[in-house]
Amino acid sequence: MSGTKDARARWEALRDEVERHNRLYYVEDAPEISDAEYDALFRELQALEERHPELRTPDSPTQRVGGAPLAELEPVRHELPMLSIRTETDTSDEAAANFDARLLRELGEAAGPLEYNAELKFDGVAVSLLYEEGVLTRAATRGDGQVGENVTQNVRTIRTIPLRLRGTPPPVLEVRGEIYMNRADFAALNERQRAEGLKVFVNPRNAAAGALRQLDPRITARRPLRLYVYGIGRVEGWDVPQTQSAVLDALEGIGLPVNEERQVVRGAEGLAGYHRRIAALRPSLPFDIDGVVYKVNSLRLQAKLGFLAREPRWAVAHKYAAEEASTEVLAIDVQVGRTGALTPVARLKEVFVGGVNVSNATLHNEDELRRKDVWIGDTVTVRRAGDVIPEVVGVRTPGPRRPADRFEMPRECPVCGSPVARLPGEAATRCTGGLYCKAQRKQTLLHFASRRAMDIEGLGEKLVDQLVERELVRDPADLYRLDQATLASLERMGEKSARNLGENIQKSRRAPLARFIYALGIPGVGEEVARILARHFGTLDAFMNAEWATIAADKDAIRKQNAHRKKRGEPPLAVPLEGIGPELMESIQKFLHEPHNRGVISRLTDPHVGVRVEPAVAEGRDTGIPRASAKTFVLTGTLSGMTREEAKARLESLGHKVSGSVSGKTDYVVAGEDAGSKLQRARELGVPVLDEQQFKDLLDTL
């Protein structure tokens, strides 16, 4: 054992043996040796790596304990988007029949009966795993489907995930799967949390999501996470099988965990039969599912059916009815949300439903509460809507129903005391305190600082609580007036943490228009609507001073023109703000005409202390760049001065294109730290490569 050659041979044998027993124990539930025997093998492997550090590699089983804490989770852009699957909420057999009939209409009746691969719909967290030459090199969360977070160090701690694939895997293989937690493991985790005086988790899915996004991998290593793989993403050097079922069989063959309850079925009857079979099996499964997934088995037919904007046409999730239980209503109070909406919440005698203990359930709004006629003291039926959010379904047995037991919506906000109001046409009753209301203020600040908005890393809930309670920040504009001494005076904020937060606030002073609009928290304006608004108006001034009545009239006029153009066989004209209806336009208009909101935006964009909002490329406007002069960029690796998403937004605001792959048409590849295969591809094709400083210099000239 003294020679390096002998040490390597023993190390390889031990590594493979420990990983084999990991798989037998954690994946196949069929251990061959005792815990003591396993521990002896593991300790021998550790000792060997201590004596020969050159043998220790990232894919060694000894590295599952977790590395050093991270400063932040880096963004990862998915080369192939991680799309969501359309959910069919009808839990009857008719949903399966409708899906099958729709596909037959699209493919032609001669294509039937169609063959499907039916799978479980896990209630977990989607993840992408990249293997290169059979070794796990990167793991990322789904994120928004386009950009996720790098969780490689955390994923390496999960024992059901192979660090090295078996057999002869493809040179590049990206697999997609679901991180989850068994119910028994979740219960044991919560018992440990209680014993240590720590927060208990609401359900296995939330516990898994929180564990996966830890900055300290050692915390993730202590959480009982597992994985099932359900598909592939980017692949190179592999003759991909022709069916979904064969792909899963092949993935299982190289050591990836694939659930055994998958089944190939034919036609609507086969789908409905699978749905019923898994429904009967569901209570005995060791983990939560909220439905099953049907996928056209033929990859050729999948390609023919194609995709909608955010989901494939060839797949659907068929849900199960949510689990229900009965309990007593102890009280009804209200919660105030970010937009000021007052939501009635039933405080319940704790009941176990859908795998978790439930003591609170939403009543949605006053109309729903009255329709269901819920009083304090009633026995009600409770379910977890979508198996996640508890809600009151209805009254099972009325209580004594004394006058004091009837809920009345308060006339004043329970948080700030401002009057409440209910606008015509709205179901929600809202606090009129706006950003003056602490409940709204906290949520507004958290939203403003969130990753998809202004991305102020480190400004979390506890810090926001302090800033609001101490009246240091009354609205988002005040964030840019905080100094180092004020930040350092906050609890649990050392000098280094205060400096880092201050730097992150400074970095957020420059924002693309779409992110800024989203960050404002306008009711009804999510990321996609913010992008539509940014593309249409181009600048913040144009957005702030929009003539909404004129836009609405233009939309109606163009739609009428398009009806005539369609009859004449002419192509339609572009409809302004397509996808934004009159109610949402009215909500935006109200927000922008509120003097307090305009004052906040004015202070936010003060040229001396505020945010510089970068213009977008507005539809139909001249960017100043002839189409032939627009450049195509590819971004790879990690940039230190900005995220790749920010770099992409900056380039697109200047009229240039950002592509996900390198080709002969690429003008520049921007390579940050740890640049991968795209950099190599650029060199092979002779595409100019820029480092970060060269990229910044070029930006100043574009």
CATH of the domain at 665: 3.40.50.10190
Are residues 591 and 635 located together in one domain of the fold? no
CATH no. for residue 40? 1.10.287.610
> Contact 407/374 with Cβ under 8 angstroms?
yes
Residue-number span of the structural domain to which 645 is assigned: 627-699
Are residues 210 and 250 located together in one domain of the fold? yes
**If we measure between CA atoms, which residue out of 497, 421, 507 comes closest to residue 460?**
497
85 found inside a domain: no
Are residues 28 and 152 located together in one domain of the fold? no
The CA–CA distances, whole Å, from 659 to 116, 431, 513 equal 34, 45, 21
Q: Tokens 């009982």 sit at which residue?
A: 224
Are residues 158 and 183 located together in one domain of the fold? yes
315-319: strand order across its sheet? 87-88, 315-319, 289-296, 115-122, 263-266
Q: Is 335 left (phi over 0), alpha (psi -120 to 50) or beta?
A: beta
Asked if 121 is an active-site residue, the reply is yes
pLDDT at residue 418 greater than cutoff 90: no
Q: Which of 5, 121, 438, 590 is catalytic?
A: 121
Are residues 103 and 206 located together in one domain of the fold? yes
Measured distance CA(593)–CA(604) in Å, rounded = 16
pLDDT at residue 662 greater than cutoff 50: yes
CATH no. for residue 565? 1.10.150.20
Question: How does pLDDT run across 287-343, given as a tens digit for each residue?
Answer: 988 899 999 999 999 999 888 756 888 999 998 877 788 999 999 999 988 778 899
The domain total for the chain is 6
341 found inside a domain: yes
pLDDT value, residue 223: 86
Question: How does pLDDT run across 680-701, given as a tens digit for each residue?
Answer: 888 888 889 998 888 887 876 6
pLDDT confidence band for 435 (50 / 70 / 90): low
Are residues 180 and 101 located together in one domain of the fold? yes
174 found inside a domain: yes
Are residues 229 and 257 located together in one domain of the fold? yes
Measured distance CA(265)–CA(274) in Å, rounded = 8
Boundary residue ending a domain (385, 415, 430): 430
pLDDT value, residue 624: 41
Sign of the dihedral through C-alpha 512, 518, 521, 523: positive
pLDDT value, residue 314: 94
Are residues 310 and 359 located together in one domain of the fold? no
657 found inside a domain: yes
Measured distance CA(163)–CA(138) in Å, rounded = 10
Are residues 241 and 272 located together in one domain of the fold? yes
pLDDT at residue 68 greater than cutoff 60: no
Mean predicted confidence (pLDDT) in 119-128: 92
Give the range among 229-233, 505-509, 661-665 with minimum mean pLDDT.
Answer: 661-665
- Paired residues of 76 in beta bridges: 148
Instruction: Give me 597's structure tokens.
Output: 């909101």
73 found inside a domain: no
Instruction: Give me 486's structure tokens.
Output: 């004020």
pLDDT confidence band for 28 (50 / 70 / 90): low
Are residues 194 and 303 located together in one domain of the fold? yes
> Contact 296/103 with Cβ under 8 angstroms?
yes
552 found inside a domain: yes
CATH no. for residue 142? 3.30.470.30
> Contact 25/31 with Cβ under 8 angstroms?
yes
79 found inside a domain: no
Measured distance CA(601)–CA(323) in Å, rounded = 45
Boundary residue ending a domain (469, 488, 508): 508
Are residues 312 and 365 located together in one domain of the fold? no
Question: How does pLDDT run across 459-500, given as a tens digit for each residue?
Answer: 988 899 899 889 899 889 999 999 989 999 988 788 888 899
> Contact 164/156 with Cβ under 8 angstroms?
no
Boundary residue ending a domain (285, 319, 353): 319
pLDDT at residue 3 greater than cutoff 70: no
686 found inside a domain: yes
Are residues 384 and 353 located together in one domain of the fold? yes
